[in-house]
Chain A
Amino acid sequence: MRVDLEVNGVRRSLDGVREGESLLHLLRERVGLPGSKNACEQGECGSCTVYLDETAVCACLVAAGQAQDSRVVTVEGLADGAELHPVQRAFVEAGAVQCGFCTPGLVVTVHDLLARTSDPGEAEIREALAGNLCRCTGYEKIFDAVRLAAGEAR
């Protein structure tokens, strides 16, 4: 089948998409944007988090066909050219990145959290990030990054 959508501001028409193919697969293998990660492909880890029409979703759980005519923003679409988004900068500065496999999904999730709440509290941060697994950092420096980015946004 054919799927038309906008990804990071660029219109795309993709042919030969399989029934049952995920948006994640479409982004990674057809659009050529492997930034969204595939740690579980079962909706459990959040490494594939992208915006689908302004809502942060697990791209592995969205059928590619469901994204027809939608606007998708991936981690690759957050920076302004060479200029990192403040959330991305905060991850770098806080040392919130180790292997980095969880990072793209977390960057999008935190971007989404701070778009909704400029000054999230401790429990609120934890809850908002509960769907994103990280195996390396124990999350502490990721929380630091959230607070850093929130502070910068205010």
Chain B
Amino acid sequence: MTVAPARPVAVRDGVGDSARRPDAVAKVRGEFAFSSDLGHDRMVWGATVRSPHAHARVLGVDASAALALPGVHLVLTAGDVPGVNRYGLERRDQPVLAEDLVRYIGEAVAVVAADDPELARRAAALVRVDYAELPALTDPELALSGGGPVLHEDGNLVRHLRIRRGAMPAAADIVVVTGEYEVGMQDQAFLGPESCLAVPDADDGVDLYCSTQWLHVDQDQLADCLGLPAEKVRLTLSGVGGAFGGREDLSVQAHACLLALRLGRPVKMSYGREESFVGHVHRHPARMRYEHGATRDGRLLYVKADILLDGGAYASTSAAVTGNAGCFAAGPYEVPAVEIDCRSVYTNNPPAGAMRGFGAVQVCFGHESQMDRLAAALGMDPVELRLRNAVDTGSVMATGQRVEGPAPVAELLRRVAGKPLPPPPGTDPRLLPGGMSNSTRAEGLLRGVGYGLSVKNICKSAGYDDFGTARVRVLARGGDVLAEVHTAAAEVGQGLVTVQAQIARTELGVERVTILPADTAVGDAGTSSASRQTWISGGAVRAACAAVRARLLERAAEVLGEGAEALRLESGQAVSELSGRAVPLVELLVTEIEETAVFRHRDTQPLDPETGQGDAHVAYAFAAHRAVVDVDPELGSVRVVEIACAQDVGKAINPAAVEGQMHGGIAQGLGLALMEEVKVRDGRILNPSFTDYLIPTTMDMPPTVLDILELPRADSPYGLTGVGEPPLLSAPAAVAAAIRDAVGAALDRIPVTPEAVAAAAVGR
């Protein structure tokens, strides 16, 4: 056995490096298999029959015309669901296939299997469903007042979070501002359609290849719906074309499995864009009433907020979104007294649920609009007002929780405020308001600058047992050491596969790392949401690597005849810090080493049901935005000239990926500020296409200026904190503030439309 002196070489593409994505080459070649690309011999296609009514009794389903078409194999309805015909993330309140009642337009009533997708869709259109329409409840205020039909057994209130802290001050010499704000319904608009392939197995189980954010929660729900033990419903993650919260709930999964198990043939399902708009939940539309009171020198004394979220027809994650919106309604500010009521209700609108920012985005528009209004009332600079009230480490949040860990809120704001302002508008009409429609020559344009500060929890909150599992195996392969990392964590585009490999390289000093496909053969990883996966699954990978490393060092200690304490792993060797001697890992791996680890963050507590007080969150993350806009006051068109964003990420595991998250988050925030709204009338989505639901294009996105702080946390792997959500949170608020600054008038609703801008500009 060779025992050579150590050669210190740091591992390439480890933690802190902008390592390239392992899947990038397949993706640029067009060879990466998204769930919509899958195929199988003998495969048939599924299609969904959906309710055209917002609220109706289902009287009967007649599938004979559909079944008469050659090539149509099967039509299934509620009675064909072998297990419990209910699913849902927080409450199982949504039928896989509607029974006697439909509660929103687009609710699934039946599923069809046919030889090709076109035929399946035609057959679905031929399934005759008899309905008796019921009065639809589409106004959340009415749902709250109890004035309409009761949509679920327990009533129409999904959750009411009350937060009470401190005593409201007496009225003397307080500057008070009030405001009412509204946020429209935003769509995740991931590009990859909902799709999956379900393959029935010889053991009467099913293998499902799908796009999701959380394999194990899908598995749990599917097993119950299909009446199968969990081990007979095996899921493998296929390529996911973006998620942003919209893949937390089931869509095609249960339907495809039902068809596949009944037919004994592989079944593929894939939504078109229009169907996708009713096929997943959206961001909760919000109505918010605020009152802020402050001293004349700009210290916040109290905040009152009354927030109503339209949860739509089924609960999805409404209760947790309500919790978040309530917890962060006062923003990242020190406020001695708070009175917050945040409620969500059932209506007959399309269901709302998770979307990047998860309740914190809506209230951010509220509290930041209020801060600007307060600054105006005080005659104070809006940046100064925010700096005066920003939380810091040790501050107490509205829920009474003390902020532990870095909270550089003031610093983040100073950083964006201190950036040089972009030059005045040029003459290229493509870069002016109106863009390619060439509607201005830059005369009479108004420029505005606006700010936003935001806070959100990272990881799961309020007592949830939040954990991740990782299995790591090291083996000698072709004279080299290979590490395999296996988790069930969903890569949805964010780059989790890259950071998992980086962590393994750093922990094991090994360059060759393979990330195995995510599936349910390994333990639960939890969800790819709440900006939690790098922390939690990254933490699990790190812990599994540590266990592997301990065993490698034991073996090395034996070979070198030295104590394991003085040994470390580096560049594929175990090296003694005492003697400098080393042994190549390949030689220690005559038999491979495998370890599985579970990683948990510290416990959190549920909020007190009366006061909303409690240590509900593991960590807070913060961001600051500055937006600069040019406005054409006559047409109301807006060009965002630049967005600056400063964010504390604790530790950038992959700086390039952090930038990518920030760019993408800013774009989605700009979209919500200016153009993105699912328009719903009488429960019907009026714009279910990318023709009518606009997301930012290359012509809409301004250059961004990023400032990434790395203030390490004490309680997370490498000091990191979650990255994905903060760059979105205060972007809409900053853009809206910049437009207000330009036109000098109030704008209380996002998305801000050209009509609203033009009207505000006239009224000023």
Residue of A nearest to B19 (CB): A95
Cross-chain contact B660 with A141 (CB below 8 angstroms): yes
- Which residues from A are CB-within-8-Å of B704? 138, 140
Whether A101 contacts B691 in the complex (CB less than 8 A), given A95-B660, A138-B704, A140-B663, comes out as: no
A112 at the A/B interface (Cβ < 8 Å)?
no
Whether A135 contacts B697 in the complex (CB less than 8 A), given A76-B31, A92-B28, A98-B493, comes out as: no
Cross-chain contact A99 with B18 (CB below 8 angstroms): no
Whether A88 contacts B34 in the complex (CB less than 8 A), given A99-B191, A133-B690, comes out as: no
Cross-chain contact B663 with A141 (CB below 8 angstroms): yes
Taking residues whose C-beta sits less than 8 angstroms from the other chain, chain B's interface range is 35 or more
A123 at the A/B interface (Cβ < 8 Å)?
yes
Cross-chain contact B659 with A95 (CB below 8 angstroms): yes
What are 7 A-B interface contacts by the 8 Å CB criterion?
Answer: A78-B29, A95-B660, A123-B430, A127-B698, A135-B695, A140-B659, A141-B659
Cross-chain contact A139 with B242 (CB below 8 angstroms): no
- Which residues from A are CB-within-8-Å of B695? 133, 135
Interface size on A, residues (CB 8 A): 57
Cross-chain contact B29 with A35 (CB below 8 angstroms): yes
Residues 15-54 of A contacting B (Cβ, < 8 Å): 18, 21, 28-29, 33-42, 44-45, 47
A114 at the A/B interface (Cβ < 8 Å)?
no
- Which residues from A are CB-within-8-Å of B662? 138
Shortest Cβ distance from residue B676 to the other chain A in the assembled complex, whole angstroms: 11
Whether A45 contacts B18 in the complex (CB less than 8 A), given A98-B495, A138-B664, comes out as: no
Shortest Cβ distance from residue A103 to the other chain B in the assembled complex, whole angstroms: 5
B231 at the A/B interface (Cβ < 8 Å)?
no
A84 at the A/B interface (Cβ < 8 Å)?
yes
Residue of A nearest to B727 (CB): A138
Residues 1-31 of B contacting A (Cβ, < 8 Å): 18, 20-21, 23-25, 27-31
A56 at the A/B interface (Cβ < 8 Å)?
no
Cross-chain contact A123 with B29 (CB below 8 angstroms): no
Which of A29, A37, A139 meets B698, CB within 8 Å? A139
The docked-state distance in angstroms from the alpha carbon of A132 to that of B118 is 26
The docked-state distance in angstroms from the alpha carbon of A142 to that of B727 is 19
Whether A40 contacts B431 in the complex (CB less than 8 A), given A102-B191, A130-B698, comes out as: no
Cross-chain contact B28 with A135 (CB below 8 angstroms): no
19 extra interface residue pairs, beta carbon distance < 8 Å, beyond A126-B430, A136-B493: A39-B192, A41-B273, A78-B29, A84-B25, A84-B29, A89-B28, A95-B657, A98-B494, A98-B660, A99-B191, A99-B243, A102-B191, A127-B698, A132-B698, A135-B668, A138-B660, A138-B664, A138-B666, A142-B698
Interface string of B177-192 (1 = CB under 8 A from A): 0000000000011111
Which of A33, A100, A129, A138 meets B27, CB within 8 Å? A100
- Which residues from A are CB-within-8-Å of B357? none
The docked-state distance in angstroms from the alpha carbon of A21 to that of B118 is 9
- Which residues from A are CB-within-8-Å of B244? 135
Which 10 residue pairs of A and B lie closest in terms of their CB atoms, listed nearest first?
A35-B30, A99-B493, A138-B663, A100-B27, A101-B241, A75-B30, A138-B667, A44-B690, A34-B37, A88-B28
Most chain A CB within a 10 A radius of its CB, from B36, B660, B704: B660
Which of A97, A129, A139 meets B667, CB within 8 Å? A139
The docked-state distance in angstroms from the alpha carbon of A125 to that of B660 is 19
Cross-chain contact B663 with A97 (CB below 8 angstroms): no
Whether A45 contacts B690 in the complex (CB less than 8 A), given A39-B192, A101-B192, comes out as: yes
Cross-chain contact B190 with A135 (CB below 8 angstroms): yes
A7 at the A/B interface (Cβ < 8 Å)?
no
The docked-state distance in angstroms from the alpha carbon of A41 to that of B273 is 8
The docked-state distance in angstroms from the alpha carbon of A138 to that of B705 is 12
Residue of A nearest to B274 (CB): A42
Most chain B CB within a 10 A radius of its CB, from A101, A126, A131, A137: A101
Shortest Cβ distance from residue B498 to the other chain A in the assembled complex, whole angstroms: 10
- Which residues from A are CB-within-8-Å of B239? 100
Cross-chain contact B697 with A130 (CB below 8 angstroms): yes
- Which residues from A are CB-within-8-Å of B32? 100
Whether A79 contacts B29 in the complex (CB less than 8 A), given A97-B21, A101-B34, A130-B698, comes out as: yes
Interface string of B580-614 (1 = CB under 8 A from A): 00000000000000000000000000000000000
Residues 660-679 of B contacting A (Cβ, < 8 Å): 660, 662-668
- Which residues from B are CB-within-8-Å of A37? 34, 36, 191-192, 241
B515 at the A/B interface (Cβ < 8 Å)?
no
Cross-chain contact A103 with B27 (CB below 8 angstroms): yes
The docked-state distance in angstroms from the alpha carbon of A33 to that of B668 is 31
The docked-state distance in angstroms from the alpha carbon of A129 to that of B656 is 22
Cross-chain contact A40 with B690 (CB below 8 angstroms): yes
B689 at the A/B interface (Cβ < 8 Å)?
yes
B272 at the A/B interface (Cβ < 8 Å)?
yes
- Which residues from B are CB-within-8-Å of A135? 188-191, 242, 244, 664, 667-668, 695
Which of B31, B241, B430, B698 meets A99, CB within 8 Å? B241
B492 at the A/B interface (Cβ < 8 Å)?
yes
Cross-chain contact B20 with A95 (CB below 8 angstroms): yes
Whether A39 contacts B698 in the complex (CB less than 8 A), given A91-B24, A136-B660, A140-B704, comes out as: no
Whether A127 contacts B430 in the complex (CB less than 8 A), given A45-B191, A97-B21, comes out as: yes
Cross-chain contact B191 with A44 (CB below 8 angstroms): no
Cross-chain contact A125 with B190 (CB below 8 angstroms): no
- Which residues from B are CB-within-8-Å of A104? 27-28, 30
B714 at the A/B interface (Cβ < 8 Å)?
no
- Which residues from A are CB-within-8-Å of B696? 138
Most chain A CB within a 10 A radius of its CB, from B24, B36, B116, B668: B24
Which of A33, A35, A40, A132 meets B689, CB within 8 Å? A40
A134 at the A/B interface (Cβ < 8 Å)?
yes
- Which residues from A are CB-within-8-Å of B494? 98
Shortest Cβ distance from residue B726 to the other chain A in the assembled complex, whole angstroms: 14
Cross-chain contact A125 with B21 (CB below 8 angstroms): no
Cross-chain contact B20 with A133 (CB below 8 angstroms): no
Whether A99 contacts B30 in the complex (CB less than 8 A), given A123-B431, A133-B695, comes out as: no
